[in-house]
Amino acid sequence: QVQLVESGGGLVQAGGSLRLSCAASGRTFGAMGWFRQAPGKERDFVAAIRWSGGNTYYADSVKGRFTISTDNAKNTVYLQMNSLKPEDTAVYSCAAAKAYLSGSYYYRIPHSYDYWGQGTQVTVSS
């Protein structure tokens, strides 16, 4: 049974940092991604990574502030979020794709991913 369990969300002041974790179990994956959804808005791509390492992808809105990484030994993907802004407030969900994805476009769309975590709330106060 595949499980993705996120942790690390919370309340932080603008300019602060948080690190989200997503512990994956049940099978191997080709790619991992983070998406977020603010109230009343659609789910947006945040960052993604090829599970075996290497290629990373970021939304323009987080580039230079967020870093995605994996720890293969722990089967965990991280999202380090620095210089947080109030507009980063959302529920953050990790996602896993069974297969390797080919091309930046496919890393950025939700339909490429087969499994989703339950989400963790990130709130950034001004």
What would the pLDDT profile of 47-75 be if each residue is shown by its tens digit?
999 988 779 999 999 999 999 999 988 99
Residue identified by tokens 């769309």 is 109
Q: What is the pLDDT of residue 99?
A: 92
Is residue 78 within 8 Å of 19, Cβ to Cβ?
yes
Q: How many CA atoms lie within 13 A of 21 on its CB side?
A: 8
Q: How many CB atoms lie within 10 A of CB 118?
A: 11
pLDDT at position 63, please? 98
Rounded mean pLDDT for each run of 10 residues along the chain, 126 residues in total: 95 98 94 96 96 89 97 93 98 96 94 97 97
**One-letter amino acid of 93:** S
